[in-house]
Amino acid sequence: MSALPADPARMSARAARDAIRAGRLGAAELAEACRARAEARADIRAWTVLDPQPPLPGTAEGALAGLPVGVKDIIATSGMATEYGSPIHAGHVPAADAACVAALRMAGGAVMGKTKTTEFAAYTPTDTRNPHDPAHTPGGSSSGSAAAVADFHVPLAIGTQTAGSVIRPAAFCGVVGYKPSFGTIDTAGTMPFSASLDTLGVFARDVTDAALFAGALAGWEAPGAVTPAPPERVRIVRAPAWDLAEPEMIAAVEAAAARFADAGVPVEEAALPDDFEALVELQDRIQVFEGRRALAWERMTHPELLSPGLRGHFERIAGLPFAEYRAARAAQRDWQTRIAAMISPGEVWLTASAPGAAPRGLEATGDPVFCRAWTLLHMPCVGLPAGTGASGLPLGVQIIAAQGADADGLAAAAWLEERLG
C-alpha cells in the first residue's frame, strides 16, 4: 500500500477518493489541506467564497466520495453566496442548489467554495491571476475554477462555456478542461447567458479525473469509465482564423499530431468548407443576442452596474431584427448537420485551444476564437496541456469529437495525454 503524499491537496481526484474509501485519508483532512493551500495562495484570487462544506451523510461510496470541489460563481449553491460576478447580485444566497451541485453532493462531493467568474460569465475580467505568472490572465470566464485546480486548491472544479470559457482557461493554466456535448450536464440553476450555447464543463488535472467528475455531474451509470485508446483517424483543423495562431502554438499542435502518427494512426489535414470562417461571427451574434435577452432584468433595473464593456456588446446587437436571429439559429442547425456528416465514427479532430500562451495583463481574458465554432456546433472538446511556450507559460491543444461521441474524444485525449507527459 503506497504512502500518502506529504500534501494531500496535490493528490489526483481518484487517488484521494480511493484513499478516503480505504480509510487512509479523512475527507476533513483533505478539505483542510486544500483550504490551507488556497489560503496560502490567496494572492491568486481564485475564490469569492472559501467555506468547505462537508459531504452529505451516507455518500462515502459515491463517485466523488469526500472530494472538495470548486463551483463557478454563476452556479447556485444553497446557503452560500452566488453573485454571478456582478455587484447587482451582491449578497445573493440561493435557497436551492443548481442541478449539477445537487448531483455532486449526491455523489459524495463537498463544495469547497465559489470560484471567481467574469461578469455573468461574459467578457469583463475578474481579478484572478494565472498561477504560473500572476502578471498574466488565467483566461475566462471560468477564471477561478481553472486557477484553483491548477494551483492545487481543489482537485476538481465546475466551469461553463458559451464561447471558450472552459477550454481556454484550462490551456492558460495548464490543466485539463472538458466541455461535453451540449446538454450532457443539466444547466438548471446556472445563471443563463445564451440558452443555445451555454454548456457546463469541468476542470481536473488529468483526463480520467475530468471524465469521473463529468460523469458524476451528468448522472452516468459508470462515471469516469474511460480507457485510453487511439482514435481511428485524426484530422488537424487549421481553422477558423488560423492566421492568429502563434508559431509555438502551431508547433504544439503538430507535435501532438506526430504522437498519433508515430503510433500508426492516420493523420491528415481537415478539408473544411470555405465558409467555415463564418462560424466565429455566427456564434458571437447568437451569444450576444441571447445574452442581452437573458439579462433583461439587470439591464432594466441596474444598467449603471453593468460594465461598460458588456453594455457595449449589448448595444451593438440592440438593433438586430428577430428574423435575423432566427436565421442565425437556423444556420447553426444547418452547420451542425453539415459537420456531423464530415466526421466519421471513431475519428477525432485536433486543433489549438487558444492562439498561444496566456497574454500578459489582466484587462482581458484572451481570445476564444479557436473555441467558438465547436461550442456553436455542440461538439465535445477535451483540452490538454501541451508543453510550454517561450514565456514558460502552458500551451494547450484540444481534441474534438462528433456531437454525442464524448467517449471517443475522452479515450483519444487520455491516450494522447500519456504521450505528452
- Per-residue pLDDT reduced to its tens digit, 111-148: 999 999 999 999 999 999 999 999 999 999 999 999 99
Query: Does residue 39 come out as left (phi exceeding 0), alpha (psi in the -120 to 50 range) or beta?
Result: alpha
Kindly state whether residue 352 falls inside one of the protein's structural domains. no
In a domain, 356, yes or no: no
Q: What percent of the chain stands above pLDDT 70? A: 98
DSSP 253-288: HHHHHHHHHHTT--EEE----GGGGHHHHHHHHHHH
CATH code of residue 213: 3.90.1300.10
16 occurs within a structural domain: yes
Note if 86 is an active site residue: no
For residue 164, the Cα-to-chain-centroid distance in whole angstroms is: 8
The answer to whether residue 75 sits within a structural domain is yes
Return the pLDDT at 54.
Answer: 81
Q: Which three cell numbers stand for residue 46?
A: 481564485
Model confidence pLDDT, tens digit, residues 47-81: 999 998 887 776 678 899 999 999 999 999 999 99
52: which 3 cell numbers? 468547505
Residue 1 has pLDDT above 60, yes or no: no
Give me the pLDDT at residue 61, please.
80
Q: Would 137 be classed as within a structural domain?
A: yes
User: Which pLDDT belongs to residue 421?
Assistant: 82
Q: Above 60 in pLDDT, residue 42? A: yes
Query: What is the predicted pLDDT for the residue at 55?
Result: 79
Q: Which one of 86, 145, 165, 196 is the catalytic residue? A: 165
Q: Tell me, what's the pLDDT at 221?
A: 62
Position 224 confidence tier, pLDDT thresholds 50, 70, 90? low
What the block records as the C-alpha cell of 249 is 502554438
CA-to-CA distance for 394 and 420, rounded, in angstroms? 13
Assess if residue 49 is contained within a domain: yes
Q: Residue 308, SS3?
A: helix
Q: What's residue 220's pLDDT? A: 76
**pLDDT at site 4:** 79
For residue 225, pLDDT beyond 80: no
Residue 201 counted as domain residue: yes
State percent of the chain over pLDDT 90. Answer: 93
Burial grade of 295 (CB within 10 A; 0-12, 13-18, 19 or more): buried
Buried b (16+ CB within 10 A) or exposed e, 72-89: bbbbbbbebbbbbbbebb
Active site annotation includes 165: yes
Q: Which residues are registered as beta bridge partners of 133?
A: 130
238-277: per-residue pLDDT in tens?
999 999 999 999 999 999 999 999 999 999 999 999 999 9
Q: Which of 72, 114, 116, 179 is catalytic?
A: 72
The residues, ordered by sequence, that sit 6+ positions from 89 with a Cβ below 8 Å of its Cβ are: 82, 83
- Quote the CA–CA distance of 182 and 197 in Å, as a whole number: 7
Q: What is the pLDDT of residues 339-353, one digit of tens each?
A: 999 999 999 999 999
Q: How confident is the model at residue 164 (pLDDT cuts 50, 70, 90)?
A: very high
Could you give the count of Cα atoms lying within 13 Å of 95 in the half-sphere of its Cβ?
A: 0
Q: Binning pLDDT at 50, 70 and 90, where does residue 309 land?
A: very high
Report the C-alpha gap between 153 and 155 in whole angstroms: 7
The stretch 373-400 carries a mean pLDDT of: 98
Q: Which domain holds residue 214?
A: 8-218
Q: What is the pTM of this model?
A: 0.97
7: pLDDT strictly greater than 70: yes
pLDDT computed for residue 60 by the predictor: 72
In a domain? residue 143: yes
Annotated catalytic residue within 86, 114, 116, 141: 141
User: What is the sign, positive or negative, of the torsion defined by CA atoms of 59, 60, 63, 65?
Assistant: positive
Structurally, how many domains does the chain consist of?
A: 1
The predicted model gives 228-239 an average pLDDT of 97
Mean pLDDT for the chain overall: 96
